[in-house]
Amino acid sequence: MEALPRRPPVIRALGATALLAVALTAIGPASPAAADEVEQLVNGGFTSGTEPWWSTAGMPITLRDGKACVDVPGGTVNRWDAAVGQNDIDLVEGETYRYSFTASGDPAGHVARAIVGLSVAPYDTYFEASPVLSVAGDTYSYTFTSAVTTAQAQVALQVGGSADPWGLCLDDVSLVGGVPPEVYQPDTGPRVRVNQVAYLPRGPKKATLVTETTTKLPWQLKNAAGTTVARGHTVPRGVDVSSGQNVQTIDFSRYRKHGTGFTLVADGETSRPFDIDAAAYEQLRIDALKFYYTQRSGIEIKESLRPGYARPAGHVDVAPNLGDGAVPCQSGVCDYKLDVTGGWYDAGDHGKYVVNGGISTWELLNQFERTSEPARLRDGTLAIPESGNRVPDILDEVRWELDFLLKMQVPAGQPLAGMVHHKIHDANWTGLPLMPHLDPQQRELHPVSTAATLNLAATAAQAARIYKRYDPAFARRALAAARTAYTAALAEPARYAPESDGVGGGAYNDSKVDDDFYWAAAELYLTTGDKKYADAILASPVHTADIFGPGAFDWASTAVAGRLDLALIPNKLPGRSAIRDSIVRGADKYLAIQAGHAYGVPYAPANNMWDWGSNSTILNNLVVVASAYDLTHRDKYRDGVVEGMDYLFGRNALNYSYVTGYGEVSSQNEHSRWYAHQLDPSLPNPPKGSLAGGANSSIQDPVAQSKLAGCVGQFCYIDDIQSWSTNELTINWNSALAWVASFVADQN
């Protein structure tokens, strides 16, 4: 394992509402106490009764064979509805603690939420883990560094949320201060970093060598039989800022023969194997889109269509779900209920968010609209319930989300009619794992927002022109909704989703909507040709601004979506050549960044602070580069996109493919309540073709903070289900993956 480059340690305290769904799982025996270690708990072995331990009312602690046991009632909703704990514990900021205990559960498989937090309001959580308990019992041990000084801390095991009663027993509970901090070193494998999946035969083929050597080194390309088929010398690149590593580049682009099982050898290291072939991208185009079927809400996922991922319909009106068929608003928001069944679960939780659904919908529809090989997206390609209806499967899949987005619009006759509710999710956070059909929480509609309203206006207008050929009635309905939404947004231009609305689901706050107005006007103009929308585009300051920042677009920054469609879809807007030129300039900016990056990444965030979901940011930058190729047909743009995929597939500092099931070592434990194999062996890992969020310098979750404090750029990632800030999966990240995979597949 390589030494992990590190910044000075950064520890952040997070509120309880931000942490209810996260944990750190590190199972193993507790370490023996050192001389300077200090026990913080009293009677952790229960040798003198049960004091000062407490338990939830109606769940008394009893001693059985020297262990503290409780009968956990069934029918509770939240983990914290049933708990055992001890209060009045001292913590010191910057001190490292070892939290350990032995626990058993009968029957097996129940998940406990082991926390260290504040025992009084606002009940902040400083550390948590989610061990899966066995009948025989296991010892669990975790190390964390306190972000606060307090005399009111609490150690607890929260064990509610089960439909059926079960038994919990505890022993040897300990919280020891003064322990050495745990040093995390990722296993990065061989120092030759390659695209572990495939290089295109007629595309760029580059690798990165991590080495202390500063002069050029010989390299060999070997085929599956071990025969050297190409050779050359590396190009020294110096220290790569994004990883802190001294690196060199290997370029074997001149080798164009198809094959499997190739390896690169340099500096005494042999890379992980890879292919030279385009077939993987054809498959990835499909797998990245198949992700959406198992994200569907409100429909049974069939074993025959997705072996290993079958589950009952989630959030229909069947107990314990309270259902999405008649969802009320948050208190004081409205006095009606809406049927908001359907749509895609946004990420690893059960929430559904219009602004993230909007950019995801746009990107998949844009993929279909621009593809040079529409037959590759034809009916039957995805094996979904709608296959065989003579509509391309990608449009059937997107329709599942579009129907939900339309349901989120405020009905005529109600206050703020035509506006769109920002999101719908549980009233409170739920824990992991939790299958959608077992979620007992009350669902709530959140207030309308200008951003959500414009997302509907944009995507519904886009859908109207694309679906007109397949379902004219739906196209008319979508366009009417889009016009209504745009008009409603003009009347309410500053209704923003607040940052504080983050209980039970993500806030998705956005107080900048000039980009959304521009995007919506662009889609409405492209579909209708109406002068009023053209005038709105030309009057927008966004229209002539340089909108190609470190990240081209995402759910909170949508101007590029409008700009790309104005450039690529035939229309009569004045000054269209300038629009097209701006796309090419944006692509040139990303190519220049890529050329200067030792790992070939078209992304260089300010101060090397990698964004949440950096993998999707990289992919969306590649969308811009690919669009420049569509406009110019210059090979440099095509090659830039192809090389950019190398980073996602393993040519990175961690030597890791971020796409599940692609590459020898790939992300497997993305944050999800139902792809939760890491916590519950009976559940699956995410499906093949799921994209992990990737390096995130802000490391907001406790797992990342415990393991990655001080991380540099690319090293701010861990493949752990509880690391929601580096390892979540989302519909908008997979839409970017599907778009770029489709483009690369088209280059075959």
Q: Which residues are catalytic?
A: 349, 671, 719, 728
- Tokens, residue 443: 């669902």
> CA of 258: how far to CAs of 11, 279, 682, in Å?
48, 11, 39
What kind and span of H or E run contains 206? strand 206-210
Q: CB count, 10 Å around CB of 36?
A: 9
CA distance 649 to 280: 11
CB-based contact 402:460 (threshold 8 Å): yes
Compute the distance between CA of residue 413 and CA of residue 417 in angstroms, rounded to an integer. 6
d(CA 427, CA 706): 29
Q: Name the nearest CA neighbour of 191 among 274, 276, 264.
A: 264
| Planar angle of CA 518, 500, 675, nearest 5 degrees | 85
Q: Give the Cα separation of 720 and 284 in Å (integer).
A: 23
SS3 of residue 408 by DSSP: coil
CA-to-CA distance for 67 and 371, rounded, in angstroms? 64
In order of 29, 154, 178, the CA distances from 138 in angstroms are 9, 22, 24
Q: What backbone phi and psi angles, to 5 degrees, belong to 208?
A: -120, 130
- Please report the DSSP string for 562-577 in residue order: HHHHHHHS----TTHH
Sorted by sequence, the CB contacts under 8 Å of residue 21 that are 6+ apart come out as 348, 349, 429, 430, 431, 432, 673, 724
Q: Are strands 420-421 and 448-449 parallel, antiparallel or unpaired?
A: antiparallel
Cβ atoms within 10 Å of 220's Cβ, excluding its own = 17
Pairing of strands 274-276, 198-199: parallel
Tell me which residue of 696, 691, 692, 688 sits closest to 725, measured CA to CA: 696
Can you spell out the DSSP letters for 80-119? GGSEEEEEEEEE-TT-EEEEEEEEEEESTTPBPEEEEEES
- Cα torsion through 265, 269, 273, 274, rounded to 10: -50
What is the 3-class SS of 285-310, one letter each residue? HHHHHHCCHHHECCCCECCCCCCCCC
State the CB neighbour count (10 A cutoff) for residue 201: 16
Cβ neighbors of 231 (< 8 A, separation 6 or more) are 218, 219, 220, 221
Distance CA 421, CA 541 (A): 27
547, 479, 548: which is closest to 515 by C-alpha? 547
Is residue 113 within 8 A of residue 79, CB to CB? The reply is yes
SS3 19: helix
| 537 contacts 566 by C-beta, under 8 angstroms | yes
Strand 443-445 to 198-199 pairing: unpaired
